[in-house]
Structure 1
């Protein structure tokens, strides 16, 4: 017979087990702590344009006394340090760009097919980049090489001159750029996730070019590609990203606007071609990182999916600024509950030019160059140094390009047009026009007037050919009207010395040219004139469609070679100061 004492043991064991289990059951039934909001730092740039070295350019910003001061800024190694400083402030971070990181670049980058520009972006930790219009300048095959690496020769320049090119570690995004089979040239979207479990948040990115790329790039470089509507592509991507778990949607778009303010963090007087795109967006977009206009701003614009304004930013040009953006996301509701942004000036060493000194200021932090990036850039600059510093002629003084507000070529535009008439003399050139948007930098000669090849190349980095054609006087008037109409951005063509015109923007489109003369006499509508432009314009680029009507077409020398010859033809070339295009309504 079993002892009663031993029969009782199972009962005691059960009581003990229950007692031990009670606290555990209580813990299992308790509510886990609520997930706290998660902050993510988005570090954004745009329009770097291969600015490996400080570009001898400044950012206008409020000074200590409230007056605007110029702050010297830019350069790859300084940009790397600025990005590093922002990463340190944001444990959760991602670095993004809104296009035009390459092409229209400094000589050291351009001569090496912008491989070093990609190398700098790799080193600063860029993760996503929307494809800009200039990234198509050498055609899609070469752009794909920048993404994937390799040394295949797709242009007249030799790739991999200093190193085996491994390609971009970041991803190009192109939601509205389609191949013949209907697929996109690059992925439309990308995702990045931060944290784990209940604190996990995901940000979705959609990147795209502007639909007017065919007006900005030579058609020969875009064969097999079409560019769709930007808003439609974004609206299509929003539900896709949400279905993939995106708590926030960020648009990277190579389109933008301008403001009337000097403060890089202002949005006063905002206008531009991005506005109709934003106005057509469906709910769900939290942040738009923009570019293209080379302007800097931070705006609260429109409405996102949670009813708050869309945050809109741009960081100017040449790496002179970087945008520090913070999104605060509630992991429980999967919504952005706060957003803010600030443009940080990448202050680099002061500089001197023919326009005067631009010293450093204590009003803004001065960054130090990051060593590895500085060393990397120096290797490419050294390889190009002989060409960069070679004197090509002398100028009587600074040759300025027109302001962004006036959209004219200024004295430099006139100088370029004069050089093109001279460069196409054998083709019978009588008139030349240059588009202001094609003039990439001013020329500040040395104290003795010396201009280097590097400076000339910075002005005209595209190696366009001169094209001379026959146009009637009526067509000459029409090409000027092309730049003044209401389709796309307005540009006042810079003309050679043989042409002068007046215009009035109060008049209806296509009738804004009031007077037009050739060699001091009214132009004859039916007479024929030999007109020279670069091949980009001859193919209808920038909306100048009338040039495609030209006949008796002859191709000639490279534009920057014609400019060099013009400078070298006399001991000191005078910078034209006359106003060849006069606006009557201002």
Structure 2
């Protein structure tokens, strides 16, 4: 687990909430006497992205306002190895959604390449996120323990050894209350124990298909952390780190450390004061902040950005006598994984092998597009990719009576960036729609459709506002008024140019995640007359074949009041 001495000087560094953007990394902080220093490095939301991301999200904005290309595990590995080499002791964490909804170069091999990558990087511990459970608990257990896939065997290698690092989720249990994952791990730094706790948000079932988590229970995260921290304390572990797959939510434009929304809001300030550092992960926002713990003592909370673009680093000092963290000596920062250093050659070879092995399938042409089709949302919340997927699903389900389509933005995982001559490949459409969701056509009344669209505006348990705008097919239009009172934000619904009748029933096609009430859209659970309509990826590929080249849809289906 320990990194070696620095072999050469590295240039740029950042302190506090400043994002590192140079060709080097921050040196470890000078240490007071009689302490043990340890550098903690973390990445989250990798989602099996071995290659750098493409499209608008391939870049990050640095502290000076400029943008830079970032990400890719070969460059991530290069930074990690440099960061570890500069510290006497180091640990490397993965903070949830490390795999799941992965591109084909990982997903084609059931994410075994991503597990092997983490083994090679010597990951200390990994917190579970919701996407590690996408393929069910049995598959998670296989990835943890090793062994070939029960249906496809070992595609990536002759054998698969599984994860050489613990998978943590203190609030994940079976129906009878037995732990379904390790609640914590303990590592030793110069003989001093450091405990690591992992938890998922208690509302994780809202974001996973029910068949993937059958038999599992998700407990209250704060209660689980407090219980586990007390247990670690009873074992003599005073230095404790929490890995939490949830976004604290910050006002990035005005005050990057002012909580705005996100499930980690309460966790950051309410979990046990025995926790010395909190590392969170969820999406694009990155920050390095300090919040008071329940005793009013300052505690660092740090988060990087998804797909290996920005990682979190925290240098801790542990008192040799008390074995606790000296919080006033904690130095944390976030590091941009730029492309202006040499990629790690061993990891680069690893990536090239996975890409080459998947290319026969991933490189197959499915069609073309006249321009890039992205997930970037406009003022109404629509995106070109979301609208395209809705159109494709309606086209696929017309044969079973579908009249309109809706799809969720969370199901759009990658932009479609045109290749030479506008070519779009199977690997790209798979990366955009990787879940294997099946389509269902169901009946809703006009009144239920209106109620459903009102559910695009939700409030979390801690009072924070959430907005989930569903992408509509081209024949479905309505007006949205964000400042209207709750329950009165949607009006003027039309299908094929005709006003929606509250009493009439309409056939709506959605993916099965939404059909089960996913993302809080429980109106779907009250629908009637459900009919299967194939898989969403097949629908998208068929649409490309039938509309070659595809023109990116406009994002004006929802009228803004």
Same fold (TM over 0.5): yes
Aligned to 2:22: none
Q: Which of the numbers 262, 266, 269 marks the counterpart of 1:272?
A: 262
**1:166 & 1:558 partners in 2: Cα distance?**
32
**1:103 & 1:317 partners in 2: Cα distance?**
13
Aligned to 2:47: 49
Aligned to 2:4: none
Per-residue deviation, 1:295: 2.3
Aligned to 2:135: 138
The 8 Å contact of residues 494 and 581 in structure 1, kept in 2 or not, is answered as no
Aligned to 1:27: none
The 8 Å contact of residues 91 and 123 in structure 2, kept in 1 or not, is answered as yes
Aligned to 2:206: 215
**2:236 & 2:482 partners in 1: Cα distance?**
49
- Whether 1:180 aligns to 2:153 is no
Per-residue deviation, 1:464: 0.8
**2:489 & 2:499 partners in 1: Cα distance?**
16
CA deviation digits over 1:415-441, x for unaligned, max 9? 110000001111111110010111111
- Whether 1:498 aligns to 2:475 is yes
- Whether 1:166 aligns to 2:161 is yes
**1:548 & 1:432 partners in 2: Cα distance?**
16
**Partner secondary structure for residue 483 of structure 2:** coil
**2:260 & 2:85 partners in 1: Cα distance?**
32
Pick the structure with greater CA Rg.
Answer: 1
| Paired residues for 1:21-60 under 5 Å | 36-56=34-54, 57-60=57-60
The 8 Å contact of residues 485 and 510 in structure 1, kept in 2 or not, is answered as no
**Partner secondary structure for residue 257 of structure 2:** coil
The 8 Å contact of residues 517 and 523 in structure 1, kept in 2 or not, is answered as yes
Per-residue deviation, 1:107: 0.9
Q: Which of the numbers 184, 187, 193 marks the counterpart of 1:192?
A: 187
CA deviation digits over 1:297-336, x for unaligned, max 9? 111122266x432211111111112211111122223332
| Deviation larger for 177-186 or 218-227 | 177-186
**1:563 & 1:62 partners in 2: Cα distance?**
35
| Paired residues for 1:515-526 under 5 Å | 515-526=492-503
Aligned to 1:394: 368
Aligned to 2:8: none
The 8 Å contact of residues 412 and 575 in structure 1, kept in 2 or not, is answered as yes
**2:380 & 2:520 partners in 1: Cα distance?**
14
Per-residue deviation, 1:393: 1.1
Count of residues paired in the alignment: 522
| Paired residues for 1:372-391 under 5 Å | 372-391=346-365
The 8 Å contact of residues 123 and 165 in structure 2, kept in 1 or not, is answered as yes
CA deviation digits over 1:435-477, x for unaligned, max 9? 0111111112135222111111111011111111111111111
Alignment gaps of 5+ in structure 1? 1-33, 349-365
Q: Which of the numbers 504, 509, 514 marks the counterpart of 2:486?
A: 509
CA deviation digits over 1:537-565, x for unaligned, max 9? 11111111111112111112111111111
TM-score, normalised to structure 2's length? 0.89
CA deviation digits over 1:12-47, x for unaligned, max 9? xxxxxxxxxxxxxxxxxxxxxx96122110011101
**1:479 & 1:123 partners in 2: Cα distance?**
46
Q: Which of the numbers 281, 306, 316 marks the counterpart of 1:317?
A: 306
Aligned to 1:423: 396
The 8 Å contact of residues 467 and 555 in structure 1, kept in 2 or not, is answered as yes
| Paired residues for 1:209-358 under 5 Å | 209-261=200-252, 266-267=256-257, 270-303=260-293, 307-337=296-326, 338-348=329-339
Aligned to 1:449: 422
**Partner secondary structure for residue 66 of structure 2:** strand
The 8 Å contact of residues 52 and 377 in structure 1, kept in 2 or not, is answered as yes
The 8 Å contact of residues 270 and 294 in structure 2, kept in 1 or not, is answered as no
The 8 Å contact of residues 248 and 268 in structure 2, kept in 1 or not, is answered as no
**Partner secondary structure for residue 455 of structure 2:** helix
Q: Do the aligned partners of residues 472 and 280 (structure 1) sit closer, same or farther apart at CA in structure 2, a change above 3 Å counting? A: same
TM-score, normalised to structure 1's length? 0.85
**1:97 & 1:53 partners in 2: Cα distance?**
17
The 8 Å contact of residues 393 and 568 in structure 1, kept in 2 or not, is answered as yes
Q: Which of the numbers 498, 508, 516 marks the counterpart of 1:539?
A: 516
The 8 Å contact of residues 170 and 198 in structure 2, kept in 1 or not, is answered as yes
The 8 Å contact of residues 55 and 318 in structure 1, kept in 2 or not, is answered as yes
**1:173 & 1:578 partners in 2: Cα distance?**
41
Per-residue deviation, 1:512: 2.0
Aligned to 1:565: 542
CA deviation digits over 1:51-73, x for unaligned, max 9? 1122235342337xx3x222111
Per-residue deviation, 1:224: 0.6
**1:432 & 1:157 partners in 2: Cα distance?**
33
**1:462 & 1:575 partners in 2: Cα distance?**
22
Alignment gaps of 5+ in structure 2? 1-31
**2:288 & 2:439 partners in 1: Cα distance?**
40
The 8 Å contact of residues 485 and 509 in structure 1, kept in 2 or not, is answered as no
**1:558 & 1:237 partners in 2: Cα distance?**
41
**1:411 & 1:181 partners in 2: Cα distance?**
45
CA deviation digits over 1:97-117, x for unaligned, max 9? 210011111111011100001
**1:334 & 1:511 partners in 2: Cα distance?**
56
Q: Which of the numbers 364, 371, 376 marks the counterpart of 2:345?
A: 371
Aligned to 1:463: 436
Per-residue deviation, 1:270: 4.8
Aligned to 2:409: 436
- Whether 1:124 aligns to 2:145 is no
**2:402 & 2:188 partners in 1: Cα distance?**
59
